[in-house]
Structure 1
Amino acid sequence: MKTSRRHFLLLGVSAGSSLMISRAAFAAGANALSEADPQAQALGYKDDVSKVDKAKYPQYAAGQNCATCSLFQGKATDAYGGCTLFGDKQVAARGWCSSYTNM
């Protein structure tokens, strides 16, 4: 089977992009805070703000998420970042907990 230059390049680009995606997912997922974590449960942490029980947490307001919280230690564009409440665990930027503050 003869491989064309175009086929070779497409395979290389595909493999490279897969590796970059898996490395990013591993970096965030290896230390990501689980909703099952006892401290996360105590603070009502959800890794997706749309899952917040608004009846249980009436202080939740639209537009609040970890990325806009003053305790979030990542950049606003990061998918995951540190949080001063959870030590070395990474929280989802699109997440939320009852300790949300923007002061």
Structure 2
Amino acid sequence: MKTSRRHFLLLSAGVGSSLVFSRAAFAAGAPATLSVSDPQAQAVGYVEDASKVDKAKFPNFAAGQSCANCSLFQGSASDPFGGCTLFGEKQVAARGWCSAYSNM
């Protein structure tokens, strides 16, 4: 089968555009991470690093607590971020913490 220049250009354009659209769809599907400035995060004292918890404000915090070992965390302990039943679609930092921490 002999390929003409026109056929080659049309085929190249089709492949190139499909790669662009699939890449955009993949990027749009990436889950958002929870920001500490989010009002919902502020309401429960969420921090991205459990070592920075204000112990005076949250006396129930204990060393070793983090999102990774909380029962609400939906990722594996080795994931840097994971889902949380408290924050819906937004992902939390595995080494983070909030006052809703539960190990039950």
TM-score w.r.t. structure 1 length? 0.71
In the alignment of these two chains, the number of paired residues is 76
Give the Cα–Cα distance (whole angstroms) in 1 for the partners of residues 87 and 31 of structure 2: 15
TM-score w.r.t. structure 2 length? 0.70
> What are the superposed Cα offsets for residues 60-101 of structure 1, whole Å, 9 maximum, x if unpaired?
000000000000000010000000000000000000000000
Structure 2: stretches of 5+ with no match in the other structure: 1-26
- Give the aligned CA root-mean-square deviation in angstroms: 1.4
Aligned-pair identity (%): 71
Maintained 8 Å contact 2:32/2:90: yes
Give the Cα–Cα distance (whole angstroms) in 2 for the partners of residues 41 and 94 of structure 1: 17
Give the Cα–Cα distance (whole angstroms) in 2 for the partners of residues 40 and 51 of structure 1: 15
Say if 2:102 is the partner of 1:96: no
Whose Rg is larger?
2
Moved >3 Å (runs of 4+): none
Shift of 1:30: 5.7
1:33 alignment partner in structure 2: 34
